[in-house]
Structure 1
């Protein structure tokens, strides 16, 4: 018999400066999919999901239908908000994600979460933040705010077509006709909006906001997926990320989808969710010393 599930919507996990810094505040919220009676189910691994949107917009409920695949297979799922680039520059967004992880760990007993099995994942800009949360596991300088007695460490990362570097140049970047260019790319660069400067003007500083700069042998395992025809975030980003992980002997699985563009619907089929969960089953067992 399938476990009955429930959606807890609009849970506040932090309050952050929003209008003018320290003049007004807003709540950051999350939606959580849990068993209807979590106290009867035992502890579940948790997937923290981060929606993309060029760090300029996001909708935390956008992927909940697809994320139900994980909830039905025994995961709890939290889809979380973070501040947009018109509110603060990086690393504020990463700090928000780590706040969410610490909040969930602090309330693990209430929500029936296994605090030793937390996975972070996301797509596009959300994948950048998920990857950054993973590769900065041991970097306490990004932990700000409440629940600092809890760690923001994660045990695995799901990276859907995220930027791994802001200075990497695509080898065969296709020419984009202006008429085909998405509206959000016609103004200032979304990366410049995130960082507060163009990466080319300070590449060394830009590298401190990129996952590729932090990979080391203690980096958690990665599941990576990218489309070969992505004109927004070229696939070279994931190629470079996977290569760096392999050099550091970090478990990684990299799926390329031939002909797929950015945010292609083929990423959001049950088949992809099953591949991710098969990967997570292996790496979480290894984390527990069961293999």
Structure 2
């Protein structure tokens, strides 16, 4: 059977070049967390250093690709893999793409992958109580929504885990993700940084929801991470490029303000890079990776009081 993730495969899905994992000695590939689709699989990468008694803190990466392309092993994974040298385990997940299933299938998959990892934490020397999400673009949307909708029955995977309580996420790293789809075009009209064509029936957002976003306001509301915000949401480190031509930066600014309003001060950190586009060196350079590491250290590994944090 041809690989359904291959751009020459039966689905014709575009995939970026793979990340280089030749230097990583400890990893597990294509671990199945679901049985509805071949896309319900994840890769797990472990540090070479010995785990503590509690296990490795875990960062789960959710790839971007407009919810309709790309893969858990592509070059988007390069930046998160740098955390291995700092003692973090890294999982990278695939999820059903919009050509196969419409929302909320994608959020069901992210949560199912988290449940799978937490249930089997001891098998892989993971600390089930120290889990963070890191998402890029469409993956950031899914990471943000997963974090804010914890406990929301409308977005829980059906017929599973109803009798179990799982440890909450400790932190979220969010790279240039969208929030309220209905504002995409308005924001681009303001910035002129990208095309204001997201209300089209052929836009990635419409394909995700299964119809024109203008006609699916209730689904747009459900898909918006802001809808589900509570004071108990985990801390967020949100980073976005000012001239981003794919996802306007205002999404991150408004989201950060709403987190502060609903939760409390120091629950969110927002970095706007003045010259960055949709990804690039500003995000993946060693200095920024160390900033992310410090954020994770302070919220995932050694959580402190809100007044003590200063990243």
- Aligned counterparts of 1:40 and 1:177: Cα–Cα separation in 2: 49
Question: Which of 283, 300, 303 is the matching residue for 1:286?
Answer: 303
Tell me whether 1:6 sits opposite 2:19 in the alignment.
Answer: no
Note closer, same or farther for the CA distance 1:42–1:35 as it changes in structure 2 (3 Å cut): farther
Show the 5 A alignment for 1:101-120.
101-120=114-133
Note closer, same or farther for the CA distance 1:246–1:175 as it changes in structure 2 (3 Å cut): closer
Q: What value does the CA root-mean-square deviation take over the aligned residues? A: 2.8
Question: Which of 110, 125, 129 is the matching residue for 2:138?
Answer: 125
Show the 5 A alignment for 1:149-228.
149=164, 151=166, 153-168=168-183, 169-170=186-187, 172-174=190-192, 176=194, 188-228=202-242
- Aligned counterparts of 1:134 and 1:72: Cα–Cα separation in 2: 26
Show the 5 A alignment for 1:41-190.
42-62=54-74, 63-144=76-157, 146-148=160-162, 149=164, 151=166, 153-168=168-183, 169-170=186-187, 172-174=190-192, 176=194, 188-190=202-204
Question: Once the two structures are superposed, what CA deviation does each residue of 1:80-110 show, in whole Å capped at 9, x if it has no partner?
Answer: 0000001111110000000100000000001
Show the 5 A alignment for 1:220-239.
220-239=234-253
Q: CA deviation at 1:247?
A: 1.0
- Aligned counterparts of 1:140 and 1:152: Cα–Cα separation in 2: 16
SS class of match (1:64): helix
Question: Once the two structures are superposed, what CA deviation does each residue of 1:153-184 show, in whole Å capped at 9, x if it has no partner?
Answer: 31211110000111223162316589xx9xx9
What TM-score, normalized by structure 2, do the two folds share?
Answer: 0.80
Asked if structure 2 preserves the Cα contact closer than 8 Å seen for 1:167 and 1:207, the reply is no
Note closer, same or farther for the CA distance 1:120–1:40 as it changes in structure 2 (3 Å cut): closer
Q: CA deviation at 1:146?
A: 4.8
Q: CA deviation at 1:31?
A: 0.9
Aligned counterpart, 1:20: none
SS class of match (2:38): strand
SS class of match (1:286): coil
Structure 1 gaps, min length 5: 17-24
Structure with higher strand content = 1
Q: CA deviation at 1:238?
A: 0.3
Aligned counterpart, 2:284: 268
Q: CA deviation at 1:34?
A: 0.9
Note closer, same or farther for the CA distance 1:40–1:218 as it changes in structure 2 (3 Å cut): closer
SS class of match (2:181): coil
Aligned counterpart, 2:19: none
Asked if structure 2 preserves the Cα contact closer than 8 Å seen for 1:95 and 1:142, the reply is yes
Q: CA deviation at 1:241?
A: 0.5
Aligned counterpart, 1:34: 46
Asked if structure 1 preserves the Cα contact closer than 8 Å seen for 2:51 and 2:125, the reply is yes
